[in-house]
Structure 1
Amino acid sequence: MTDPSSIGHAGGADSGLPARVCVVGAGVIGAAWAARWALCGVDVAVHDLSPTTAQRVEATLHAAKVAWERLGLREMAALGEVTCAGGVRDALGDAILVHECVPERLEVKQSVYAEVETAAAPDAVIASSTSGIRPSELQADMRHPERLVVAHPFNPVYLLPLVEVVAGSDTSEHAVQRAMGWLTAAGMSPLRVRSEIDGFVADRLMEALWREALWLVHDGVATVAEIDDAMRLGFGLRWAQMGVFGTYATAGGEGGFRHFIEHFGPTLNQPWTKLTDVPELTPEFIATLIAQSDEQSRDQSIEELCAARDRNLVDLLLALEANDWGAGRSLAVLRERFAGRQSDQS
């Protein structure tokens, strides 16, 4: 997985990047974290018990390289070395940032921390990619809980800049700031979650929409494809570059958000949604969801769908960068950082 032309890796104190990163758990998120860091020039060691780990990481790195080539970033930084290790201790080495990306089961994550703490560098920060477990729960049995933070990214990690950073009750501010500094240097846009809450910020928003979408399919109001069309052909395009509140501010016309909330706010009292309930996921309902999802995919493989997703995201990011807007600003910052690094090396 090493690019033979990769020399002069960019990781280290001078670049703001960690010198070496360890990833434990190489599923969709873990493999993409490895790709993001490698593309920034950082050496990464990955550990996962799956026999297909190397193939999964290789495929993800390839997809990420294709995307960054289209963004015009691929040649701006030497590719870090990505290796697969047979055990956690071997993967850790002298890594100062450890991404925990194992399944969302508290006992599994805590067992990883116990193993990591026996071999990790004393100053290593452990960053969990959990999508909703509170960090105080994660760090409850740790010997050095001050080093654990949540760094929850969004798929694909090598393209989407948002990462939610959450501290637990025993997390040190030093660990939080180190993690946020590294993530920023890697082109991410860390969102510091102000207080611990299950699901953090973004997943709670997605969960609310997801519940209502399930009800619409369950009640026969709309199909999976129709719901996705309502999002991707309508408000999803606005949300992608303005978010919810920014969108509603423009919907208020000259009166802005004040006019919007005065005009549409009362509708919140109407029983339009079922946010506090969820339809029972019976075998029959699950079969309906799967059938409609498969029909929408039109026989495209997951690999083909992911490639289309990446192409669309790249073009959207480039458009937003050209307009100095939204996620495009994160891309511009990364491009400027790479350009500055090349100037320093010349």
Structure 2
Amino acid sequence: MSTSSTIRTLGLIGGGVIGSGWAARALAHGLDIIAYDPAPDGEPALRTAVDNAWPALERMGLGPGADRERLRFAGSVAEVATAADFIQENAPEREDLKRRLLAEIDADCGGEVIIASSSSGLLPSRIQADCRHPERVVIGHPFNPVYLLPLVEIVPGERTAADAVERASAFYRSIGMRPLRMRKEIEGYLSDRLQEALWREALHLVNEGIATTEDIDDAIVYGPGLRYAFMGTCLTFHLAGGEGGMAHMLDQFGPALKLPWTKLVAPELTRELRDRMVEGTAVQADGRSIKELERWRDDCLIRLIEALAPMRHERRAESPDPVTA
């Protein structure tokens, strides 16, 4: 693990699941952290989350200077803004809140400091609109658990400078991430739009009594999920066409796209559907706490990452910063 020569202190606004994930990843790469969260238990909750992630990070290999004691908790947004070299905002997913918060951060930090939002779907052009320096505001959307999963979607707004995207990409690479830069902004970005399509269909299948939550998960875990882990969606379907590849696959199965196999629109989230989802996942959890499940998930992810590492090197040569078409 290595760190950027220019980013020494990462500022975090919001210390929940995503904020604490950023903290754990950055600490493991030897950075200093200054964080702020207005919740009464913000600091102990953040430190507990980092402690829970640390065994997984130790297994992955800590970088020079990695130390949980390099986490400092601030008393205000302004204190973070004035002390950090790079700021990652992790507030709840509300446009009005993020727009107001980014403007506050922007007013207090130096003009060269990149401000990234962990938003999972808001348009950057809208949430950067009230900033005096909107050119240094980007979306840096990670995936949970942030301290293990490398993907981060970088989405520029209409007024974001190309230099800010480059600098954000360089920082994320320095802490072991895989930046995916999008050419155009769109609600939900890329990965979440794909996940939401699957999620909507899963809700329909449970709602109509066709499958349980465990059936849904098994349908992915023991089938396409194994292929997705190293091939993704498009390359998988390319192979589905046999020697004819994607061309044959589309020519043969393309008409099926018109069949009503998917609902597309989400079902009404009734109390009954909510209860089915809650009860089904409770059965799957089998009495394990969230922290226990997180540690089990981390163990599985580490073993999967280690197993897939040689295969990833066998894929075609890729640029450090893949760009969506």
| TM-score between both structures, scaled by the size of structure 2 | 0.92
1:66 aligns with 2:55: yes
Amino acid paired to 1:304 = E
**Runs of 5+ consecutive residues of structure 1 not aligned to the other structure:** 1-8, 334-346
What whole-Å deviation, never above 9, does each CA across 1:103-145 have from its counterpart, x for those lacking one? 0111111221232123212211110000000000101111111
Residue matched to 1:305: 293
Deviation at 1:185, TM superposition (A): 1.1
Q: Which runs of 4+ in 1 moved over 6 A?
A: none
Question: Where do 1:193-272 residues align within 5 Å?
Answer: 193-272=182-261
For the residue of structure 2 that corresponds to 1:57, the secondary structure is: helix
Matched residue, 2:310: 322
1:52 aligns with 2:41: yes
Provide the aligned C-alpha RMSD in A: 2.0
Preserved contact between residue 161 and residue 187 of structure 1 (Cα < 8 Å): yes
User: Map of 1:53-202 to 2, 5 A cutoff?
Assistant: 53-71=42-60, 73-74=61-62, 76-80=63-67, 81-202=70-191
CA contact (8 A) 2:107 2:132 kept: no
In 1, Cα distance between equivalents of 2:4 and 2:41: 30
Describe the shift of the 1:196–1:10 C-alpha distance in structure 2 as closer, same or farther (beyond 3 A): closer
User: 1 CA distance for matches of 2:171 and 2:177?
Assistant: 9
Percent identity (aligned): 42
Say if 1:162 and 1:190, in contact at 8 Å, map to a contact too.
yes
Q: Which amino acid aligns with 2:266?
A: V
1:32 CA displacement: 0.5
Write the letter of the residue equivalent to 1:155: N
Alpha-carbon distance change, 10 to 320 in structure 1, aligned in 2, over 3 angstroms: closer
Deviates more, 1:137-146 or 1:309-318: 137-146
Displacement after TM superposition at 1:258 (Å): 2.2
Partner Cα distance (1:78, 1:270) in 2 = 56
Q: Structure 1, residues 192-251: CA drift from partner, whole Å, max 9, x if none?
A: 111011101111101111110000001111011100110111111111111001111222
1:290 aligns with 278
Alignment size in residue pairs = 316
Q: How does 1:32-43 map to 2 (within 5 A)?
A: 32-43=21-32
The answer as to whether partners of 2:107 and 2:131 remain within 8 angstroms in 1 is no
SS at match of 2:100: helix
255-264 or 289-298, which moves further after superposition? Answer: 255-264
TM-score w.r.t. the length of structure 1 is: 0.87
CA contact (8 A) 1:132 1:200 kept: yes
Distance 2:2 2:270 in 1: 51
Distance in 1 between residues matched to 2:13 and 2:7, nearest whole Å: 16
Deviation at 1:64, TM superposition (A): 2.9
CA contact (8 A) 2:3 2:175 kept: no
Shift of 1:12: 5.1
